[in-house]
Structure 1
Amino acid sequence: MQWYVVASLLTILTSSQGILTTLSQSNGGYNYDYATVPFLAEVFKLAVSTVLLWRECKASPSTRMTTEWKSVRLYLIPSVIYLIHNNVQFATLTYVDTSTYQIMGNLKIVTTGILFRLFLKRKLSNLQWMAIILLAVGTTTSQVKGCGEASCDSLFSAPIQGYMLGILSACLSALAGVYTEFLMKKNSDSLYWQNVQLYTCGAVFNMARLLLDDFGSGFEKGPWWQRLLDGYSITTWMVVLNLGSTGLLVSWLMKYSDNIVKVYSTSMAMLLTMVLSIHLFHFKPTVQLFLGIIICMMSLHMYFAPPSMLVDLPSTSKAALDSLQEISVDRRTDS
């Protein structure tokens, strides 16, 4: 499967994630325990990965699987990060609308770029850093309220809690993505075996979180396995399948592509989310929102486009480049 097909599917799933989660709410809250959704999503991903691993081992007995504990234990770290991120995501959507959530999610480009530089030692060009700053400006611009509206008591259109949770979600997403990419490319193990390790840890930690909630409430509502599906609807199940499918696609990108492709596809989802929100939730887009989206799209172009498309090279540089190409061609001819 080509990476651009996976990126397109990820864009669709990401754009529908916030919408489905919002549709699953009732009177601004959840009739179900939203901590059970990440748990079921991890179980779904684990089941799919296990079946695919079994098929791969059946077709190729020489499938590479590292079973040493010092390698397996590394998968505990991203599982904890994803556990926190998934729960923060649900809390964020109780304060902000889906379009705002998607736009704030683009902050993960900033945090991903910083983590790339610090931990993976990947250098970014000056144009890419400028694009990251421009993206932050666009994200902020999209949320500024117009003074012609009913209330100008606050500069922003959502409670401060929503923005704090959104920033935390972006940081956690970038950290988990960078670390997962490191694990996926650390060795040549089967992708499905790596997924089994990752999602087993994820399921265990999510189950532990449910147990802690039970102990915290004194088992007032009974053990978590008895109320696991309480309040679930078709929309809630769609949220589970969406979250699980998104995780499987992200793991593929981490193995065979990189975080930048993942971030790019999820960022493109904000446009689709805005269009769907207008139709489903009668969301009224503001001029600031359109301006912010345009700035964000410009920043994405700056980040991914080759420097030659953005900056005109001096004629001397072009001539030198042409001469180098001629020399390389001559050498190949002589050889």
Structure 2
Amino acid sequence: MMFTAVWLKYVSLGVLVLQNTLLVLTMRYSRTLHSEGPRYLPSSAVVSAEVLKIFTCILLVFKDHSFSVCGLNQVLKEEIVNMPHLTLKLAIPSGIYTLQNNLLYVALSNLDAVTYQVTYQLKILTTALFSVSMLGKRLSIYQWLSLVILMTGIALVQWPTDTSSGTQQKDVTASSHFMGLLAVLVACFSSGFAGIYFEKILKETTQSVWIRNIQLGIFGLMFGLVGVCVYDGERVWQNGLFQGYNTLTWMVVALQALGGLVIAAVIKYSDNILKGFATSMSVILSTMISYFWLQDFDPSSVFFLGALLVISATFLYGYERTPAINPSEE
């Protein structure tokens, strides 16, 4: 039993590293790839991911109830239909998560994968602040120190570098870079608030993780469809909801849907320290792949220093000091 728990812990962490890395890189590549015809709509991809997540969670609930259709119908009715107040509570984090998913497409359309990955670690700070203000959590000295190191690292990552490009090109690049950074910053704050709000709900209920994901997915689908109509309604009317979709697009959709399920497994089988390792490994892998394969990133020494500080802060934030053993207790 203990071996199984340890095995599940490291498998879930390994999958989280791969999911984070592959999602960022494939999303970035899919948004910058030049191809004939219209490019796929981010709002459409968000909706597709929500549908896939709901379908997957329903299958998992179906499996948990011994593949019984009656059992599935009963649990969905009891946990979702007959509990409207609890279900409606999840509309808030669901709407924020939908906004966040759309912002990530904007960010990766204007930033290279590595800068996005490192800057997005700012969500550790926003999560900590919301945790203190909403849950009354007390942070250790190591965690506060890690937040200071994190902010320093983020500042160094965004430190401007000299280029030999023309003035007009610089202005366009600077404008695009600012738009990407703004999207990441808003996503960090939305991620921190939604995560803590969702954690607060989880501590007040005993529903399964899959049921909660179904509830989130239902509202996410509703908000996503509203986003499609508001922002891309005309283009959908002209070329369809799935315009520009290819194998790479469906890979992005699948990875995005997988994210919520993987995080649920990590929360169940892992801890903060190993979760920090997973986040740091994802940043390192993204850096290597973006530099050697995508070739869309030319790091400077200042960037490497900032990235090192961000990764160190991630490790330090999950550090838990082992209490000293009292000799009298031996």
Instruction: Provide the TM-score with structure 2 as the length reference.
Output: 0.83
Selected match of 2:177 from 159, 169, 188? 159
Does the 8 Å contact 2:142/2:317 carry over to 1? yes
User: Could you give the per-residue CA deviations for residues 25-56 of structure 1, whole angstroms, max 9, x where no partner exists?
Assistant: 34679711110011000000000101111121
* Cα displacement (A) at 1:106: 0.5
* Residue aligning to 1:299: 313
1:241-320, aligned counterparts within 5 Å? 241-254=254-267, 265-282=278-295, 283-307=297-321
Please identify, of 123-132 and 60-69, the stretch whose mean Cα deviation from structure 2 is larger: 60-69
Provide the C-alpha distance between the structure 2 equivalents of 1:128 and 1:11, rounded to a whole number of angstroms: 22
Provide the C-alpha distance between the structure 1 equivalents of 2:212 and 2:274, rounded to a whole number of angstroms: 20
Provide the C-alpha distance between the structure 2 equivalents of 1:209 and 1:170, rounded to a whole number of angstroms: 20
Give, as a single letter, the amino acid of the residue that structure 1 aligns with 2:41: D
Counterpart check, 1:202 vs 2:220:
yes
Does the 8 Å contact 1:50/1:196 carry over to 2? yes
Provide the C-alpha distance between the structure 1 equivalents of 2:75 and 2:224, rounded to a whole number of angstroms: 29
Structure with a larger share of its residues in helix: 2
* Residue aligning to 2:126: 111
Give, as a single letter, the amino acid of the residue that structure 2 aligns with 1:203: L
Selected match of 1:237 from 238, 243, 250? 250
Identify if the C-alpha distance between structure 1 residues 176 and 257 changes in structure 2 by more than 3 Å, giving closer, same or farther: farther
* Cα displacement (A) at 1:261: 6.2
Give, as a single letter, the amino acid of the residue that structure 1 aligns with 2:200: F
Does the 8 Å contact 1:109/1:263 carry over to 2? no
* Residue aligning to 1:101: 116
1:72-83, aligned counterparts within 5 Å? 72-83=87-98
* Residue aligning to 1:69: 84
Does the 8 Å contact 1:184/1:255 carry over to 2? no
Instruction: Provide the TM-score with structure 1 as the length reference.
Output: 0.82
Please identify, of 238-247 and 24-33, the stretch whose mean Cα deviation from structure 2 is larger: 24-33
* Residue aligning to 2:194: 176
Give, as a single letter, the amino acid of the residue that structure 2 aligns with 1:245: L
Provide the C-alpha distance between the structure 2 equivalents of 1:262 and 1:322, rounded to a whole number of angstroms: 30
* Cα displacement (A) at 1:152: 11
Does the 8 Å contact 1:109/1:174 carry over to 2? yes
User: Could you give the per-residue CA deviations for residues 175-217 of structure 1, whole angstroms, max 9, x where no partner exists?
Assistant: 2222222233322222222221111111122112222336xx6
RMSD over aligned CA atoms reads 3.0
Does the 8 Å contact 1:105/1:267 carry over to 2? no
Identify if the C-alpha distance between structure 1 residues 292 and 192 changes in structure 2 by more than 3 Å, giving closer, same or farther: same
* Cα displacement (A) at 1:292: 1.2
Provide the C-alpha distance between the structure 2 equivalents of 1:287 and 1:324, rounded to a whole number of angstroms: 51
User: Could you give the per-residue CA deviations for residues 107-156 of structure 1, whole angstroms, max 9, x where no partner exists?
Assistant: 00000111111112211012210111101111211221345x436998x9
Counterpart check, 1:41 vs 2:55:
no
> Structure 2: which 5+ runs fail to align?
none
Counterpart check, 1:213 vs 2:231:
yes
Please identify, of 201-210 and 1-10, the stretch whose mean Cα deviation from structure 2 is larger: 1-10
* Cα displacement (A) at 1:3: 3.4
Does the 8 Å contact 1:15/1:266 carry over to 2? no
* Cα displacement (A) at 1:290: 1.3
Counterpart check, 1:89 vs 2:89:
no
> Structure 1: which 5+ runs fail to align?
327-335
Identify if the C-alpha distance between structure 1 residues 7 and 220 changes in structure 2 by more than 3 Å, giving closer, same or farther: closer
Identify if the C-alpha distance between structure 1 residues 220 and 247 changes in structure 2 by more than 3 Å, giving closer, same or farther: closer
* Residue aligning to 1:329: none
Selected match of 1:17 from 23, 26, 42? 23
Does the 8 Å contact 2:17/2:282 carry over to 1? yes
Equivalent pairs counted in the alignment come to 309
Provide the C-alpha distance between the structure 2 equivalents of 1:39 and 1:97, rounded to a whole number of angstroms: 24
Identity %: 26
Provide the C-alpha distance between the structure 2 equivalents of 1:53 and 1:246, rounded to a whole number of angstroms: 18
Provide the C-alpha distance between the structure 1 equivalents of 2:14 and 2:190, rounded to a whole number of angstroms: 23
* Cα displacement (A) at 1:263: 6.1
Q: Specify the SS of the correspondent of 2:139.
A: coil
* Cα displacement (A) at 1:258: 6.9
